[in-house]
Amino acid sequence: MKVLAIDVGTGTQDVLLLDTEGTVENALKLVMPSPTLTAGRRVREATRRGEAVLFEGTIMGGGPSAWALRDHALAGLPTYATPDAARTVDDDLDEVRELGIRVLSQDETRSLSGVVRVRSSDLMLGAIHASLEAFGVEPRYDALAVAVFDHGNAPPGVSDRKFRFDYLRRTLTSGGGLQAFAHRRGEVPEEMTRLRALESTAPEDVPLVLMDTGPAAVLGALEDPATRPDGRGSIVANVGNFHTLAFHVTEQGIAGLFEHHTGEITTELMEGMLERLGSGEITNEEVFDSMGHGALVTDASAPPPSVLAVLGPQRNLLRGSRLSPYFTAPHGDQMVAGCYGLLRGLARCLPEYAEEVSSVLDSTSVRQPEW
């Protein structure tokens, strides 16, 4: 069988096509610009040319695409968006309108002419299929697994950061460990609007698993034997372009975690939080008050970790750190760690594929407990 795994980040989208008849090392891989970066570039090209823009589709990852739309409107150029696409900029459409972006229904957009139409979607299957076909690879697969970072749709007056961390806390404490962040089609929590948008755009004839990027990356990092907890456990930190998520992992499960905005963290601040995570002394308040999402300690009596494993595109933040980090490389490649985590999540969500997928991952890896 074949599984297509796509880990959608802010800077890159990392793609892996696993054929269970081969080895995991020979799986086809792509590390390409992210959908939000690609959409943002199209908007900025239109800005340079002085053209009107219509942003249409579903909610997708913000950052580069949202910033480009804001700048386009600030330049005094006509800027339109359909309601779902506009929520990429802000869940509150009144806030979007205040930026100078006109929110139009799909019917209203039909009368527009002379506009650059930019698709809002986290799923670029057409481009991925074309890339595979360019190398003579048929874009056929038996299951699809996709990860995105989802803040969720916070109610009015509720912090997006708090709402996001409440989702992490609730999912982790529900049981199932990191794999509990993987959802089958139809089981995504209603408030996780970005994941649900992905679900609505994915092909209906292919089994689908959706997952949050942070837990997927950490779960994938645990494919590296040197990252796994021994009697003292380990800390695994995914230092992404926009977000950093660290878990204290022990043989008994998850002892704690914190999540922060990478751009708000210095090396010194990161080192202190990682030390307090390992000792069980980190608090939700200290992380939230420094513009992070939050922290949670589930087992303050857990022994200090024996290894700090680091991955992610901004991992150099800890290069040369006094904490002597280990730069993990699951199956030889840290950039597709999220894809490996997606495969583990898929094996949990789709039991009919579990043995086949796990046997390939385990062929170069010791079988993992249920983190």
> For residue range 236-272, what is the model confidence (pLDDT) as tens digits?
999 999 999 999 999 889 999 999 999 999 999 999 9
Written as six digits, the tokens of 73 are: 């409107």
Q: What is residue 231's predicted lDDT score, i.e. its pLDDT?
A: 77
For range 166-176, the mean pLDDT:
93
- Which pLDDT belongs to residue 230? 76
What number is the average pLDDT over the span 5-29?
Answer: 96
**Contact indicator for 340, 331 with CB cutoff of 8 Å:** yes
| 290 has a pLDDT exceeding 60 | yes
Average of pLDDT values for 271-283? 98
Look at residues 313, 264, 305 and name the one whose alpha carbon lies nearest to residue 286. 264
Percentage of residues of the chain with pLDDT beyond 70: 98
Provide, rounded to the nearest whole percent, the portion of the chain with pLDDT above 90.
95
pLDDT at 364: 64
3-state class (DSSP) for residue 12: strand
Q: What is the mean pLDDT of residues 292-303?
A: 96
CA distances from 102 to 138, 193, 202 (A): 41, 21, 27
If pLDDT is split at 50, 70 and 90, which confidence band does 367 have?
Answer: very low
* Location of structure tokens 């992404």: 240
Poorest-pLDDT segment among 116-120, 206-210, 323-327, 360-364: 360-364
pLDDT for residue 330 is more than 80? yes
Beta bridge mates, 147: 7, 211
- Distance (Å, whole) CA 4 – CA 19: 9
Query: Does 365 have pLDDT greater than 80?
Result: no
Q: Cα dist. 304→136, 223, 250, 265, 325 in Å? A: 50, 21, 10, 23, 15
Dihedral over alpha carbons 24, 28, 31, 32 (to 10 degrees): -150
User: Which amino acid, residue 80?
Assistant: Y
Q: Nearest CA to 139 among 148, 131, 147, 150?
A: 131
Inter-residue contact 276 to 284 (CB < 8 Å) = no
Amino acid at 346: L
What value does the mean pLDDT take over residues 158-173?
95
What does the pLDDT look like over 177-223, one tens digit per residue?
999 999 999 999 999 999 999 999 999 999 999 999 999 999 999 99
At 41-70, the pLDDT tens digits run 999 999 999 999 999 999 999 999 999 999
Average pLDDT, the chain: 95
Whether the per-residue pLDDT at 369 is higher than 50: the answer is no
The encoded tokens of residue 14 equal 């990392």
Tens digits of residue pLDDT in 299-316: 999 999 999 999 999 999
Q: What is the pLDDT of residue 92?
A: 94
Comparing 35-49, 172-186, 222-236, 279-293, the range with the smallest average pLDDT is 222-236
pLDDT given at position 148: 98
* 159 has pLDDT over 60: yes
Which helix (H) or strand (E) segment holds residue 256: the answer is strand 253-261
Q: Residue 176: its pLDDT value, please?
A: 86
Supply angle C-alpha 290, 291, 294, rounded to 5. Answer: 85
Please give, one letter per residue, the 3-state secondary structure of 155-199: CCCCCHHHHHHHHHHHHHHCCCHHHHHEEECCCCCCCCHHHHHHH
Predicted pLDDT of residue 232: 82
E strand or H helix at 246? strand 243-250
Dihedral angle of Cα 354, 175, 262, 322, to the nearest 10 degrees:
-90
Mention every residue, 6+ apart, whose C-beta is less than 8 A from residue 205.
none
Nearest of 32, 35, 42 to residue 63 by alpha carbon: 35
